[in-house]
Amino acid sequence: MVSAPDPIPADAALPDRLRLLRALERKVLWLSSWTIHHANHIRPSRDGLKVGGHQASSASVATILTALYFDILRPEDRIAVKPHASPVFHAIQYLLGRQSLENLKNFRALGGAQSYPSRTKDADDVDFSTGSVGLGAAMTSFAALVQDYLHLKGRLPDGQARGRMVSVVGDAELDEGNVYEALLEGWKHDIRNVWWVIDYNRQSLDSTITDLLYSRFDQLFEAMGWRVVTAKYGSLLEAAFARPGGGALREWIDSCPNSLYAALCYKGGALVRGAADDDRTKGWREHLVADLGDERGIRALLDGLDDAGLQRLMTNLAGHDMATMQAMFRAVDDDRPTCFIAYTIKGFGLPFEGHKDNHAGLMNPAQIDGFREESNIPSGAEWDRFAGLEIDSDELQAFLDAVPFAARYPRRTSAPRVAVPAIGTPRPAGQGGTLSTQAAFGQILDALARDDAPLADRIVTTSPDVTVSTNLGAWVNRRGIFDRRDRGDTFRDEKVVSAQQWRQSTEGQHIELGIAENNLFILLAALGLSHETFGTRLLPIGTLYDPFIQRGLDALNYACYQGARFLLVATPSGVSLAPEGGAHQSVGTPLIGMAQDGLAAFEPAYADELAVQMAWSFDYLQRDGSARRGRGWLRDAQGGSVYLRLSTRALEQPDRTMDNALRQNIVDGAYWLKPPATGAELAVVYTGAVAPEAIAAWNALAEDIPGAGLLAVTSADRLNAGWTAAQRARQTAAPKGDGTPPGTLSHIESLLAPLAPDAGLVTVLDGHPATLSWLGAVYGHRTHSLGVEHFGQSADIPDLYRAHRIDTEAILDACAKIALERLTARR
Ligand SMILES: Cc1ncc(C[n+]2csc(CCOP(=O)(O)OP(=O)(O)O)c2C)c(N)n1
Ligand SMILES: [Mg+2]
């Protein structure tokens, strides 16, 4: 049975608290507006580019975030703040003493407060990064799943309460499909302790959003088992509704189209507008008189309000009413997922409130000056934390010091490293048999599952409906499927024979997902941050078909950007899956592996290489920069996530023993399978499943070109990164941050050094040829690169390799051509 989080203490509900919260809400709105203004209008510009920042999006959530941070949240809660409210987030951190003035002044500048809240780039307490809309919301759902995974296994640190995973999202984020993928998956897993707070300002970037959507949101959430709490009106409007004519007023607002309401908010405001804008303030009155003038009580209501008062009343939506927000959040004290729909006005209280073009709108100097005066802030005291608030500074400070959310600092947790056991090389069944890297992966996990090493208990696997076909079957048979309830294995109970024994229980260590790849990556992000979010280290392994990385690429990027640690196993890959073929062939993924920040990519050909890479990965996943390790230039101290591109093509395995030198080469990205003679005029370079073709070509060449080398590239990514970093170190002639001694050769420079200066390289892989073509730039060697550029045809391997020109003959043709070019160049 899952219990609800700690209730909020009753004494916290004193009206005095409300007074302080209201003051802080005004300060938060001011500071967020001023931070943006400062960056755009006061800090000198060097490039003439607009700095930007979103004053309207920020104003929309100033009340909601003030209520959450200063009143509602607890230290164990985790929050994803909508990207464009970053200035509000930083203002709150500043008030809590967790963000520096310097960083606010440097908003959107190097080292300063980031444009969108960033776990890895911001100095203050960001729980979950946001930026790509829709992903932050999904992140909180999967974080809740991870929290329960740990809780139900008794693995949360002693005394650590479960927190709420809160996402404050813009309403337009609900257009993103990944949100619904996450909702569905969350429902399947019966997630708890998730709050999504929708800033329902009915505006996106370009304009107001359709009126038809509103009635859909609650139904969608309710269908997924969520509680929906809609807060539409603030206390002023509620009071007006209770007066004569109030019912008609309410009906009028309820049926007012989004765009008209927004336009009137813009026209009607008088808060920071100059006298010249007076003619715009007639909006509300004109429309209400025209539509409701004959209703009893309406004239009296309107006559009792000046323009400013009428604007205040009509913009008093719930999301700007502190008492309403506070009560709304406090009313929920169980663990059922809850969606709060808070009506707001984009740009609330600012000159462009409600204007459809306000997304990138910035107050001009005169307008911010008016707003400053309105806020009683003396000129020169713009950054002062308490200036203009009619509450004693000591009282405010005492309140801030006692904010529950900030009671523990740092809120980010850590967890000790888990020792990595030796990983043996999987062997083919039978004498002289063959093995694919995918099969070897399954065997390695099977061996880990049998093992009682602590590492195996921390591994959690997950897959979007390709668990069996990516060879996780043996692992799952041993370690079981995670489920909140003990569901057993129906097929087994019914004595239906199957190789898959899928017992579902809280003990299970595999989280089975539906097909949506976005969910895989966001779950990997949540699992891979478990040590920093929940204080318990997990080692997540996610499997999927290689081509479908592209389906979830933004979510993968999001996971890496947050610094999450996971092992991504993508298989099968390339055209080598042959008859399976067609749309399942991946071409560009090796380039994704090279380009994706935070992800080290490997493509092994043999089982022993894979074993080395996996052992290294389990260690690399756990590094945090605290110890100097490996090669400084390869993020080897910081660590990161790892992507293994595997294949179903079974290869004959090399007969060799793994020594430390080979192990290091495999990790650094390449080794000579057949070392070249000094001054060799040719080398064949290959990656992955095309090893037999490269070897056959090399054998055929041996007579004509003795001394030619055969280079096995196990990681084009690390090889390239090492080379780039070494060049950078030499350019700047100082070790700098990456720790590379300036004179050091990178791994690929050392490997290629024996070749003749005018030697040729022929590179080949089952992937885009550009993955290896850069090798020619290392020493200026003439290079012919073979690979796959087109895809979509099913066939067997001989036909496909021939069609794509990655077979032995194509390699030999390229070698012959390059030899000829060399001779011609020499003449
Ligand atoms: C995936 C993605 N697509 C597009 C954008 C560009 N973009 C930034 S904000 C925005 C609209 C945001 O509207 P909403 O979520 O309602 O927030 P509001 O500005 O109204 O507070 C868009 C399209 C983005 N950040 N991420
Ligand atoms: Mg919006």
pLDDT, tens only, 474-487: 999 999 999 999 88
Residue 374 identity (one-letter amino acid): E
Q: What pLDDT does residue 764 have?
A: 98
What mean pLDDT comes out for the span 39-63?
A: 96
Residue nearest to atom 10 of ligand 1 (CA): 205
Residue 736 clears pLDDT 90, i.e. is over it:
no
Ligand nearest to the CA of 116: 1
Choose the residue to mutate in 82, 84, 174, 557 for probing ligand 1, maximizing ligand atoms within 8 Å of C-beta: 84
What mean pLDDT comes out for the span 581-603?
A: 95
* Cα–Cα distance list, 641 to 460, 554, 570, 599, 740 (Å): 15, 15, 13, 5, 21
Higher pLDDT, residue 208 or 586 = 586
Ligand nearest to the CA of 82: 1
Interval between CA 675 and ligand 2 midpoint (Å): 61
β-pair partners for 81: 168
What CA–CA distance (Å, rounded) separates 520 from 511? 10
Higher pLDDT, residue 47 or 635 = 47
**Residue whose pair of structure tokens reads 């300060």 in the numeric block:** 27
Q: What pLDDT does residue 12 have?
A: 45
Residue 151 clears pLDDT 50, i.e. is over it:
yes
Q: What pLDDT does residue 275 have?
A: 40
199 Cβ inside 6 Å of ligand 1: yes
Interval between CA 171 and ligand 1 midpoint (Å): 9
Rounded to two decimals, the pTM is 0.95
In the predicted model, what is the mean pLDDT of the chain?
93
Q: What pLDDT does residue 592 have?
A: 98
Structural tokens at position 126: 């960001």
Confidence band, pLDDT 50/70/90 cuts, at residue 743? low
What mean pLDDT comes out for the span 363-388?
A: 97
- Above pLDDT 90, what percent of the chain? 84
Q: What pLDDT does residue 735 have?
A: 55
Q: What pLDDT does residue 734 have?
A: 60
User: What are the pLDDT digits (tens) for 508-552?
Assistant: 999 999 999 999 999 999 999 999 999 999 999 999 999 999 999
Give the nearest ligand 1 atom to 199 CA: 21
Residue 508 identity (one-letter amino acid): G
What mean pLDDT comes out for the span 797-804?
A: 96
Interval between CA 112 and ligand 1 midpoint (Å): 22
339 and 222 Cβ atoms separated by less than 8 Å: no
Interval between CA 715 and ligand 1 midpoint (Å): 37
Q: What pLDDT does residue 195 have?
A: 98
Q: What pLDDT does residue 11 have?
A: 39
User: What are the pLDDT digits (tens) for 89-126?
Assistant: 999 999 999 999 999 999 999 999 999 999 999 999 89
Q: What pLDDT does residue 740 have?
A: 55
Confidence band, pLDDT 50/70/90 cuts, at residue 632? low
The number of beta carbons lying within 10 Å of the beta carbon of residue 323 is 15
- 827, burial (CB in 10 Å: exposed 0-12, middle 13-18, buried 19+): exposed
617 and 576 Cβ atoms separated by less than 8 Å: no
202 Cβ inside 6 Å of ligand 1: no
319 Cβ inside 6 Å of ligand 1: no
Confidence band, pLDDT 50/70/90 cuts, at residue 140? very high
Q: What pLDDT does residue 236 have?
A: 95
DSSP at 317: B
Residue 625 sits at φ, ψ, to 5 deg, of: 85, -5
Confidence band, pLDDT 50/70/90 cuts, at residue 209? confident
Residue 739 clears pLDDT 60, i.e. is over it:
no
Interval between CA 169 and ligand 2 midpoint (Å): 8
Interval between CA 114 and ligand 1 midpoint (Å): 16
Confidence band, pLDDT 50/70/90 cuts, at residue 331? very high
469 Cβ inside 6 Å of ligand 1: no
* Cα–Cα distance list, 617 to 87, 314, 569 (Å): 37, 58, 11
Q: Which residues contact 775 (CB under 8 A, 6 or more apart)?
A: 685, 748, 752, 761, 763, 781, 783
What mean pLDDT comes out for the span 254-277?
A: 73
- Above pLDDT 70, what percent of the chain? 95
Going by DSSP bridges, is the β-strand pair 481-482/504-505 parallel, antiparallel, or unpaired? parallel
* Cα–Cα distance list, 160 to 76, 567, 810 (Å): 8, 27, 61
Q: What pLDDT does residue 7 have?
A: 37
170 Cβ inside 6 Å of ligand 1: yes
User: What are the pLDDT digits (tens) for 497-517?
Assistant: 888 888 999 999 999 999 999
Residue nearest to atom 17 of ligand 1 (CA): 170
Residue 1 clears pLDDT 90, i.e. is over it:
no
Choose the residue to mutate in 65, 86, 114, 133 for probing ligand 1, maximizing ligand atoms within 8 Å of C-beta: 133
205 Cβ inside 6 Å of ligand 1: yes
Residue nearest to atom 21 of ligand 1 (CA): 57
178 Cβ inside 6 Å of ligand 1: no
